[in-house]
Structure 1
């Protein structure tokens, strides 16, 4: 009988909140210089008055319940990740894999006025990669195949739709005015635009920019990258934003001789790639700066680095209105408001082309500007920097371990 009572008592211990909290404590923590140990050991608001956290020595933490030690945790010190903040205006050139279908137009066919391509089941946003087994990468190659001297015949078009390869049979139409085979569709082979560099690693040349995906202006779908490059860009004028209408940087894109690097990734968190050897961004005097993790971002004053005239990077005042301490990669982790009178006077707030502008707080890079509120040009969203570092291939596992603890 006594044994049964003891067994029940021991089993019951597992359901007590202090014991549950002890079980959840990690065996080790990875920390960066300057972090408070007590902030890293979380009891999820369970009986907070019962536990205390003390540094025992350089590499250990002791958790106590009253005067009784209950757990020792090993501390692993790791240097805080540092990258060079950007702010430079960059031109973006993307060459998609194949050519993208962006629309249709009707032709006179034996079946009446219609688009042969649309009638065959081709859709807006499809990426055409082959015509009659011949690879196509630009408009010139498509035109060359369709203008071949062969008699009109059904042609096989291989395309990619939502990552899946599909083959469609299309019967071209020959127009008297054009004297060539026509498919009745509009296509595009590349995209270009302007954004802002967020950061780069001076040792590896890895970089991140924009902070959001580049989508096709017609199809609204992410551009699938075959080849891409970033170049120097110079801001010539600003179209000010106002309620309901976002403003825009009017900028020129440098020629092929001023290519800064390649683009290898285009996704929700921006564009990423490798800077060329000998690029001159390092010559602009900016030193490496530590990054801040999502839970370290504070509501309050911050600055953004961006260009509003020519190629000069300037710092402007903003305020972080809200920040979500995200534990998993997600966009729009911050809401910020422009408070700098000079920037408000010049641009009206956040404008297109400003996406990717690094956000600096307490001498750390905390994120990047990503979107503007349509009905309030002075306010917009930002993305936390750690998610952009992950996408660039810069290891932030240390931050994940810390949040998991």
Structure 2
């Protein structure tokens, strides 16, 4: 978080502060860190490295992460979106990534690594910097990532959202991209539901039965997380995980939980902004009404 009381924003700034401290007579520095959601201050002493001619403290620092995922939904009324359906974790530590300044951009799928039993497949894409699709990431949660899409003009028709009690076992379709930027519709079957009264990223089990998708990808692959599931004309959920030993099957999250998180996190940001401007906290009747509607 900080070196000698100075907030650290990126790797280059951290390197400059460490080198500056290393050249001082009193070489020890104070590191402010966040560990297990608790802020701590520790003292360390940088050592000079002949290898690269700078002072080091033995830490591997990473200030960026990138990957391919799928947008699950977008609410044009609030400009809130939800994607992935699960939390983003660090590839090395397997701990949640603390996102401070994230963005989502458009991607073009250029290759698919086919999934095999015991070997997960993967989408490979290139990021496309287009003004027609820009958004931030303000929440990284167990139920997906959420934020605002300020530059997005969808051409498709909006569809209703199903509550958890309206989801059924049986045929459904999954929307995802397997080539370029074209969204395809593929047949799946919702095999089993897990009755839930509170959010979870594993609400149902689905099986891919679409022959085209099976021949192209082998089933569910990395990068499909967040792919929306449609049943009876409603969006009911999104893909979250694949079964490693059977890539034709995977888990999905109920869309109600994702939408609720998007609404709550968006209003939390607005309330925080008002509090910073000096307003007192007060109940939001619109928020209460929306929750009642979500609850059926």
Q: When the two structures are superposed, what TM-score results if normalisation uses the length of structure 2?
A: 0.87
Partner of 2:152: 279
Distance 2:106 2:51 in 1: 43
2:124 counterpart SS class: strand
Determine whether 1:209 maps to 2:83.
Answer: yes
Distance 1:237 1:180 in 2: 40
Distance 1:297 1:327 in 2: 14
Determine whether 1:307 maps to 2:177.
Answer: yes
* Pick aligned residue for 2:70 from 159, 177, 196: 196
1:393 counterpart SS class: helix
- Which stretch shifts more, 339-348 or 257-266? 257-266
Distance 1:194 1:152 in 2: 45
2:64 counterpart SS class: strand
Return the offset for 1:306: 0.4
Q: When the two structures are superposed, what TM-score results if normalisation uses the length of structure 1?
A: 0.64
Q: Show structure 1 runs of 5+ residues with no match.
A: 1-128
Give the aligned CA root-mean-square deviation in angstroms: 1.5
1:354 counterpart SS class: coil
Q: 5 Å matches for 1:172-183?
A: 172-183=46-57
Cα displacement string for residues 245-304 of structure 1 (whole angstroms, at most 9, x for unaligned residues): 11000101123756521111001000000001x423x1xx31111111112111110000
Determine whether 1:162 maps to 2:36.
Answer: yes
Distance 1:399 1:257 in 2: 33
Distance 1:178 1:271 in 2: 38
Distance 1:169 1:256 in 2: 45
Cα displacement string for residues 72-131 of structure 1 (whole angstroms, at most 9, x for unaligned residues): xxxxxxxxxxxxxxxxxxxxxxxxxxxxxxxxxxxxxxxxxxxxxxxxxxxxxxxxx111
Determine whether 1:349 maps to 2:219.
Answer: yes
Return the offset for 1:221: 0.7
Partner of 2:275: none
Distance 2:137 2:177 in 1: 21
Distance 2:130 2:31 in 1: 32
Partner of 1:124: none
Determine whether 1:220 maps to 2:90.
Answer: no
Determine whether 1:389 maps to 2:259.
Answer: yes
Distance 2:163 2:84 in 1: 19
Determine whether 1:322 maps to 2:192.
Answer: yes
2:73 counterpart SS class: strand
Q: Show structure 2 runs of 5+ residues with no match.
A: 265-289
**Contact conserved, 2:108 with 2:179, CA < 8 A, in 1?**
yes
**Contact conserved, 2:118 with 2:246, CA < 8 A, in 1?**
yes
For this pair of structures, how many residues does the alignment match? Answer: 269
1:187 counterpart SS class: coil
1:195 counterpart SS class: coil
Determine whether 1:399 maps to 2:294.
Answer: yes
| Higher fraction of strand | 1
Distance 1:133 1:235 in 2: 43
Partner of 1:16: none
